[in-house]
Amino acid sequence: DIQMTQSPSSLSASVGDRVTITCRASQSINSFLNWYQQKPGQAPELLIHTASSLHSGVPSRFSGSGSGTDFTLTISGLQPEDFATYHCQQTSSTPYTFGQGTKLEIK
Amino acid sequence: QVQLVQSGAEVKKPGASVKVSCNTSGYTFTRYGISWVRQAPGQGLEWMGWISGYNGNTNYAQKFQGRVTMTTDTSTSTAYLDLRSLRSDDTAVYFCTRDYYTSGSYYNPFWGQGTLVTVSS
């Protein structure tokens, strides 16, 4: 199975900050990497697919980059509604494994 | 609009089985697959497997092989997850999610609300 490692596990930031979350795969997954946002008690929501493609309706302050084994999710200009947990997922080969999640908290 | 509505919370004893349903609407059921993902309390997401809405083909994570069965009923556009021999570490919220596949890209834009399954004696 492909292991996905996110860092950091948690992050404190302020409204307006720019934050970056990284996700590393244990082997190359090309660009088959998705990012999801999850708020407490809710289902995950798709933010970015195929490493850098913004899902429909997602604000442009979210962006993704990377290929191979190293990927990043960047939020430029944090808004109050962005404080949540972020998950990466590889869809290069089954099982489609997730990272352990990054909890973004208000400083 | 696409909707996935899951069945309600369940409480089961160790060794029992649970069947979770995922009733879909707003799209042609046979054109897409359904994945099941679970989340233990305070933990990350875990992909359990996938079923084709077209022909019922399945792909299960090896961890669940022999304990899980995913099925569909195309007449009602409903997917089902059956998990047997439940253990306390199966306590989790179970999500169904509809996939989208294009040009090699695969992702899950639509999710059910989740079903809490509690395994306790």
- Nearest Cα neighbor of B107 from A42, A103, A41, A35 is A35
> What distance lies between CA A99 and its chain's CA centroid?
9
On average, the pLDDT of chain A sits at 97
Question: How far apart are alpha carbons B14 and A97 in whole angstroms?
Answer: 26
The model's pLDDT over B10-65, given as tens digits with 9 standing for 90+, comes to 999 999 999 999 999 999 999 999 999 999 999 999 999 999 999 999 999 999 99
Best B45, B50, B95, B98 member to test A by mutation, with max A CBs in 10 Å, is: B45
Answer for the pair B110, B97: CB distance below 8 angstroms, yes or no.
yes
Q: How confident is the model at residue A39 (pLDDT cuts 50, 70, 90)?
A: very high
Task: Name every chain A residue with its beta carbon within 8 A of the beta carbon of B113.
Answer: 43
Q: Residue A6: what are its φ and ψ, rounded to 5°?
A: -100, 150
* Contact assessment for residue A24 and residue A75, using Cβ atoms and an 8 Å cutoff: no
Report the chain A residue with the minimal C-alpha distance to residue B59: A94
pLDDT digits (tens, 9 = 90+) for B92-121: 999 999 999 988 789 999 999 999 999 999
pLDDT tens digit sequence for B68-89: 999 999 999 999 999 999 999 9
Mean pLDDT of A68-91: 97
Of the partner residues A31, A46, A87, the one whose CB lies closest to the CB of residue B44? A87
Is residue B94 within 8 angstroms of chain A, CB to CB? Answer: no
H helix runs in chain B, sequence order: none
